[in-house]
Amino acid sequence: MPGKSKSSKQMAMGTGKELSRAWKFGDDIDTDAIIPGRFLTINDPNELAKHAFEGVRPDFKPAEGDVVVAGENFGCGSSREHAPLALKGAGIKCIIAKSFARIFFRNSINIGLPMLECKDVGRISDGDILEIEGITIRNLTKNETYSTTPLPGFLREIVESGGLIEYARALVAKKHKGKKHK
Amino acid sequence: MSNDLTITEKIFSRAAGKPVRAGDFVMASIDTAMTHDITGPLAVEGFYEIMRDEKEKKVWDPEKIIILFDHQVPADSLNAAKNHILLRKFAKEQKIKHFYDLHEGICHQVMPEKGHVLPGQLVVGSDSHTCAYGALGAFGTGIGSTDMAAVFALGKLWFRVPETIRFEVNGKLGDRVYSKDIILKLIGDVGADGARYKACEYGGKAIKALDVSQRMTISNMAIEMGGKAGIIEPDKTTEAYVRQRSKGYKLDKDLKSDKGAEYSEVREYDVSDMPPQVACPHNVDNVVDIGKIEGKKLDQVFLGSCTNGRFEDLKIAAKIMDGRHIAKGIRMIVIPASRAEYMKVLEAGLVEEFMNAGAIVESPCCGPCMGGSFGLLGPGEVGLSTSNRNFKGRQGSPDAFVYLCSPATAAASAIKGKITDPRSV
């Protein structure tokens, strides 16, 4: 549906809010499916993005601001950070799933790729147009609203400081300063 | 709430420097950190990003970081060669004490083998199968590259202390049935996400009876049910293994789960009558008794990986093949997991046996398991592998089919050219 992905870039009339096309996947989507092993020598998100879901979903051509919607255990398997990086590079602004696999969850928090845990993903179909505001999802295609589970406070702190790199940077600076005073 | 703790809560309490329970978020001190040629370059990039305003861009402790090459060795592409250069330079610049170039083998074999893993430690690796170190009673867990960058800089990392699922495995394994069959059975039962965010703790008579090599197989695959760790309480078997590598090591008798420790779930098994197990395409939890899939025609058999590439594994396979040639029309790739294991295999005459049987024996590395290097499957081909994953496209073409099994089943199947019960040959 090439036409649809374009329309997701439009802004909602009058609100200025970004609309996102949903790219729908099933349960247990593994990181080999997101980015196959042969591309792991690539470290650039934009280059990785060209191979996202290659082999399992050739039509995956998201527009900037689109979202991935999946079932349980999204991102299971390998620890490759190349997986969330490829999705981020492809312009995916958020991943909505029933649940996330642990290392993928860590990696996405760390690189600042937002995730929303939502029980109602079964109601979202491929190609639906969503409007995401904070932790609320509005499905404009189906005229429905879904709530999501907020992140625990500790993790929000990391996300709000701009990801783990910035969080760690502040800690290193603090440590350094402490040493100077001694 | 009782004061009784799981072994996982004990390890995290020590690492966090305060008493913690499942569910707590902590910044924990890392005992050892391991990275390799695939996830290392991004970690190095992240490290310098964290240190960008610091005058001294030094890692927290060059003696506690292990860097090695195993996924793409020898360099199989120009990009791989460039990544190797980047990591060699980093290791030199940072005076990383334990840097192993392409000669030493697969990280999860080399780490315990060289004494880099001790019971009770918190060990992180930027590789999902870092849970393998649970075989020695360490809390080993996989992390990402940015995580590793933070560890390089701080020696600490954030964790949510996990709840624990206890697998109580009793009974006595039958002839030609191994720990790989146990772990496949467990994964098939709980599913690919049945242990998500949780520590898997394996105990019971059947686990106690396993040597360290077979324990590593079980711990290694905890991630395939979503587990954060795959821990086995250290005992005399563990102590004997560790003492050979870390002189003077003494078992800490308190390093185990207390009697009243709280588990999110306890699952009990009796494996006495369990037949060999096989995971079918394209998920590791798609597990069947071998009888259900016997006769499936094969194109390739891969014997190796951090899951089942040790001397003991290859010896089991060679014994079953017993001088017989692999079936016509199929190929067999054998890869010992490390240099040390390779030497043992060589000295025992097994390399000759495998080669006489028509197999090829490669130097230690991840090989076909990572699917980016060599030994790939083409469209429509069927592979049987002793490794840990059979995802679509994992070992090459997304149109190929990968089955997972024990070294015994792999060997029996190689000589028959089709999936074969090792008890029948």
Cα gap B285→B193, rounded to integer Å: 9
Nearest to B120 by CA among B264, B254, B28: B254
Domains of chain A are 2-149 (3.20.19.10), 151-182 (no CATH)
Q: Which of A51-60, B324-333, B386-395 has the highest mean pLDDT?
A: B324-333
Please name the residue that has the structure tokens 């490794």: B387
A67 within 8 A of A23, measured Cβ to Cβ: yes
Mean pLDDT value of segment B41-52: 96
CA dist B74 → B37, B99, B341, B362, B372 (Å): 11, 16, 18, 11, 13
Q: What does chain B come to in residues?
A: 425
* CB neighbour list of residue B3: distance below 8 Å, 6 or more residues apart: B258
The CATH class that applies to domain B7-274 reads alpha beta
Nearest CB among A78, A155, A163 relative to B128 is that of: A78
Lowest mean pLDDT among A134-143, A150-159, B108-117, B304-313: A150-159
Asked whether the predicted pLDDT for residue B422 surpasses 60, the reply is: yes
Collect all residues of chain A within an 8 Å Cβ-Cβ radius of residue B51.
169, 172
Collect all residues of chain A within an 8 Å Cβ-Cβ radius of residue B130.
79
Asked whether the predicted pLDDT for residue A14 surpasses 80, the reply is: no
Give me the percent of chain A exceeding a pLDDT of 90. Answer: 68
Query: Bridge partners of B66?
Result: B34, B98
pLDDT tens for each residue of B85-98: 999 999 999 999 99
B278-424 to CATH, choices 3.40.50.300, 3.40.50.720, 3.40.50.2000, 3.30.499.10:
3.30.499.10
* CB neighbour list of residue B220: distance below 8 Å, 6 or more residues apart: B108, B129, B131, B132, B135, B183, B230, B306, B307, B388
CA B249-B254-B259 angle, to 5 degrees, is 150
Q: How do strand B382-385 and strand B401-404 relate by DSSP bridges? A: parallel
Asked whether the predicted pLDDT for residue B116 surpasses 50, the reply is: yes
Nearest CB among A72, A81, A165 relative to B50 is that of: A165
Check residue A179 and give its pLDDT: 64
Determine contact: B126 vs chain A, CB below 8 A.
Answer: yes
Q: How do strand B98-100 and strand A19-24 relate by DSSP bridges? A: unpaired
The DSSP code for B213 is: H
Collect all residues of chain A within an 8 Å Cβ-Cβ radius of residue B389.
30, 32, 77-78
pLDDT band for A159, please (50, 70, 90 cuts): confident
Contact between chains at B146 and A164 (C-beta distance less than 8 A): yes
CA-based max dimension of chain B:
66
Nearest CB among B39, B53, B397 relative to A81 is that of: B39
The DSSP result for B23-48, as a single string, is T-EEEEE-SEEEEETTTHHHHHHHHH
Q: Distance (Å) from the C-alpha of residue A174 to the closest C-alpha of chain B?
A: 11
Beta-strand ranges (E) seen in B204-312 are: 229-232, 265-270, 277-279, 287-289, 300-304
Nearest CB among B52, B193, B394 relative to A76 is that of: B193
Check residue A3 and give its pLDDT: 37
Q: What does chain A come to in residues?
A: 182
Contact between chains at A55 and B197 (C-beta distance less than 8 A): no
B194 within 8 A of B267, measured Cβ to Cβ: no
Collect all residues of chain A within an 8 Å Cβ-Cβ radius of residue B392.
32-33, 55-56
Asked whether the predicted pLDDT for residue B157 surpasses 70, the reply is: yes
pLDDT tens for each residue of B237-254: 999 999 999 988 999 999
Amino acid at A92: I
SS3 of chain B: helix, strand, coil, percent, to 5: 35, 20, 45
ipTM of the complex: 0.86
Give me the percent of chain B exceeding a pLDDT of 70. Answer: 100
Instruction: Give me B202's structure tokens.
Output: 């394996």
**Torsions phi, psi for A87 (to 5 deg):** -70, -40
Asked whether the predicted pLDDT for residue B17 surpasses 70, the reply is: yes
Check residue A6 and give its pLDDT: 40
Q: How do strand A136-139 and strand A129-133 relate by DSSP bridges? A: antiparallel
Instruction: Give me A145's structure tokens.
Output: 């609203």
Interface of B with A in 365-394 (CB under 8 A): 370-372, 389, 391-394
Q: What average pLDDT is seen over chain B? A: 96
Check residue B36 and give its pLDDT: 97
Asked whether the predicted pLDDT for residue A4 surpasses 50, the reply is: no
Contact between chains at A37 and B196 (C-beta distance less than 8 A): no
Mean pLDDT value of segment B276-302: 98
Check residue A162 and give its pLDDT: 81
Q: What average pLDDT is seen over chain A? A: 88
Interface of B with A in 263-282 (CB under 8 A): none
- The SS3 of residue B101 is coil
pLDDT band for B391, please (50, 70, 90 cuts): very high
pLDDT tens for each residue of B166-180: 999 999 999 999 999
Check residue A9 and give its pLDDT: 45
Lowest mean pLDDT among A8-22, A38-52, A144-158, B129-143: A8-22
Determine contact: A32 vs chain B, CB below 8 A.
Answer: yes
Check residue B97 and give its pLDDT: 97
Cα gap B400→B103, rounded to integer Å: 30
B229 within 8 A of B131, measured Cβ to Cβ: yes
Cα gap B185→B285, rounded to integer Å: 8
Cα gap B284→B221, rounded to integer Å: 10
Domain limits, CATH 3.30.499.10, in chain B:
7-274, 278-424
Interface of B with A in 75-104 (CB under 8 A): 77, 79-80, 82-83
Mean pLDDT value of segment A87-107: 94
B424 within 8 A of B408, measured Cβ to Cβ: no
Determine contact: B8 vs chain A, CB below 8 A.
Answer: no
Nearest CB among B38, B196, B371 relative to A36 is that of: B371
Q: How do strand A19-24 and strand A129-133 relate by DSSP bridges? A: antiparallel
Mean pLDDT value of segment B377-390: 97
Mean pLDDT value of segment A50-66: 94
Preferred mutation among A39, A40, A104 to probe B, highest tally of B CBs within 10 A: A40
Check residue A1 and give its pLDDT: 37
Nearest to B82 by CA among B94, B95, B72, B97: B72
User: By CA distance, what is A157's nearest residue in B?
Assistant: B158
Instruction: Give me B282's structure tokens.
Output: 């394209």
Interface of A with B in 37-96 (CB under 8 A): 37-43, 55-56, 72-73, 76-82, 85
Q: Kindly report the number of other CB atoms within 10 A of residue B168's CB atom.
A: 17
pLDDT band for A5, please (50, 70, 90 cuts): very low
